[in-house]
Amino acid sequence: MTATLVPPDPTTGAAPARRTARRIPTTRLVKVELRKMFDTRSGFWMLVSIGILSPISAGSLLVLGLDGDVTYQNFVRASGFPMSVILPIIAILAVTNEWSQRSGLTTFTLVPNRGRVIGAKAVATLLVGLAAVSVAFAVGAVGNVAGSALAGVDTVWDVSWSMAPQIMLYNLIGMAFGFTLGVALRASAAAIVGYFVASLVVPGILELLALVREWFRDLQPWIDWNYTQVALLEGTTDTGEEWAMLASTTTIWIVFPLAVGLLFLRRSEVK
């Protein structure tokens, strides 16, 4: 049996008048990505767990801590601790869900420019980070006032104006690293495991290396991501050299892998 091969006829059917659709504004993309971070069950509970764990963590300082611990710095750190774990995971899932949950098939057909989608995700992640850490400062303040009243000690406000931005930056860099892993690996499980390996296992190895190999001791602050993070959390990144160290670890752990990951992501196939 043979079937005729008929060449397609492009002349039939006048091209319908094009609608004057306008480019999707970036603000809208950011709004949508923010919504997508929390409209799933896992996203919702992640948000709730921040809201619940943060006060509990601050409260535990009241119950378990000594009178001398009742300072704003300690309260901010306590209320911020759950966030430093959960925020990077939120950042990871914001990216990887599109692949692991395959929703990217819809996302990237509605917005074919993947760079814009990832950019919107980055902005949304940043906004979540800013809001969450602000909440940590607020919860810490409430805890500090309540705590000092309960303990009958003077309320100590020992978070300086140079320290507060560093604590903020500490959390944002944590999120940026999670985001980077999400972009580079594009798989939820791998990225989350990668995050904990990089933040729990790698620092130990580098620490050990610095102990046994003298030449590495001076190099460590320039390479060890965790080292500069701790400095930020303590609010002790002050000198130009210390900021340069932070820039160095950020380049190694975030800027470079993110650039490579983005390059692959834009060409990768969405299935």
Partner 1 sequence: MITVESLTRRYGGFTAVDNVSFTARPGRVTGFLGPNGAGKSTTMRVVVGLTAPTSGAATIDGVRFADLPNPGLEVGVLLDASAQHAGRTGREILTVACETMGLPRSRVDEMLELVSLTPTEAQRRVRDYSLGMRQRLGIATALLGDPRVLILDEPANGLDPAGIRWMRDLLTGFAGAGGTVLLSSHLLHEIEVIADDLVVIGNGRIVASGSKEELLASAGTLARSSSPRDLARALDQAGIPSTLARDGSVRTEADPGRVGAVALSAGIALVELRSSEGAGLEDMFLSLTADTQREGAAA
- For residue 115, how many other CB atoms are within 10 A of its CB? 11
Of 110 and 208, the one with the shorter C-beta distance to partner 1 is 110
Q: Count helices and strands (H / E) in the chain.
A: 13, 0
CB 78 within 8 A of CB 222: no
Interacting span for partner 1 (CB under 8 A) from 48-56, 97-105, 182-190, 242-250: 97-105
Considering only residues 11 to 50 of the shown chain, the ones binding partner 1 according to CB under 8 A are 12-13, 15-16, 18-19, 21-24, 28-29, 31-32, 35-36, 39-43
CB 84 within 8 A of CB 174: yes
Nearest distance, CB of residue 96 and partner 1, angstroms: 11
Q: 163-185 and 188-196 are packed helices; what angle lies between their axes, rounded to 10 degrees? A: 140
Of 4 and 239, the one with the shorter C-beta distance to partner 1 is 4
Q: Does 202 bind partner 1 (CB under 8 A)?
A: no
Torsion angle in degrees (nearest 10) through CA of 203, 207, 173, 233:
120
Give the C-alpha separation, 129 to 263, whole Å. Answer: 25
Q: Does 158 bind partner 1 (CB under 8 A)?
A: no
Of 109 and 239, the one with the shorter C-beta distance to partner 1 is 109
Compute how many residues bind partner 1; rule: CB under 8 A.
48
Residues within the interface to partner 1 (CB under 8 A): 1-6, 8-10, 12-13, 15-16, 18-19, 21-24, 28-29, 31-32, 35-36, 39-43, 97, 101-113, 267, 269-271
